[in-house]
Amino acid sequence: MSMRRRTLLGLGAAAATGVGTSLLGSSAAAGTLSPRMASPRQAPTAQFAIGVRQFYWSRGSRQLNTKIFYPASGTAGGNPIPNAPIANGVFPIAEWSHGMGCNSDCYSSQTHDLAAAGFICPAPSFSDNTNIGSVYNGNWSKDVSEVLTRTLALNNTSGDPFAGHIDTRAGVGVSGHSMGGMTTHGLLTSWPDNRIVAAVPVACVDMGNPAGLHANVLFIHGDHDPTCDYNSARAAYAELPSPKAFLTHVGADHGQYLTPDYRYYAQTKNTFLDWFRWSLYGDTAARDRLRSDATSNGTSWQAALTR
């Protein structure tokens, strides 16, 4: 990929808000494991209550304060409950990275939706959250890899509430918006993590040549985005092998389609969740819903879902 094809994120832009093989240590830097597609099973059909735990991790001098949202026991609906008991079951990881000037609480629509649907969602707060240079030099992508390692380790930590509840065989999912979307694409290209089998970069730009990961990749973007060039994301999509898909919100800006009051938010939410249900649970019914999930008068859909 030519550097000339990259489009820098404007520093003045505001991030949208509200809106048996272990995988431990198997990032590209630490090993060569390429997880297989999840064994076919049905993803949970009922909504879960949402729990949240706070962790204060680090990677060298970089602080990785991370909230993990997760399926909790109890009645579905309402706000996340700190340190609530985790629901019965084994759940895959689907991470979320925030955008500029934000933190792990900004994108509650996405992190809470993932947890309620049956995913363990670590959401780091990047300490240098306005420094786009830390995205372009790979620090944010490397931070996410560290957060994934720390989260996976909880499955085997004696006495931890998550022990035995994290699916460490299916691979992991990553996603994020704006600088978080660029971070997500960076994990597929310049700073690859081969534990990743599913990725959803939202409003990203092209961060490099594909690293050959066996990941299902869904792009979501508004075609009137003034901050992250739509054509750069389209170029990134074209470079990747299938399975892949591109959901375009026609006429939409940088992130309005991530907010529940947006007219076509349902297309974002349903496509986003079914992508992870298919990729991390192996739920083929979710795969078969994707076209109808994405289709509306305000969206367009392109997909190549077979290898």
Per-residue pLDDT of the chain (307 residues; tens, 9 = 90+): 333 234 344 433 333 333 433 345 445 443 333 444 566 789 999 999 999 999 999 999 999 999 999 999 999 999 999 999 999 999 999 999 999 999 999 999 999 999 999 999 999 999 999 999 999 999 999 999 999 999 999 999 999 999 999 999 999 999 999 999 999 999 999 999 999 999 999 999 999 999 999 999 999 999 999 999 999 999 999 999 999 999 999 999 999 999 999 999 999 999 999 999 999 999 999 999 999 999 999 999 999 999 8
Whether the Cβ atoms of residue 173 and residue 201 lie closer than 8 Å to each other: no
Per-residue confidence (pLDDT) for residue 4, from 0 to 100: 29
Q: Which residues pair with 300 in a beta bridge?
A: 248
Kindly state which CATH superfamily the domain 50-304 is placed in: Alpha/Beta hydrolase fold, catalytic domain (3.40.50.1820)
Per-residue confidence (pLDDT) for residue 38, from 0 to 100: 62
Biggest alpha carbon distance in the chain?
Answer: 51
- State the pTM of this model: 0.91
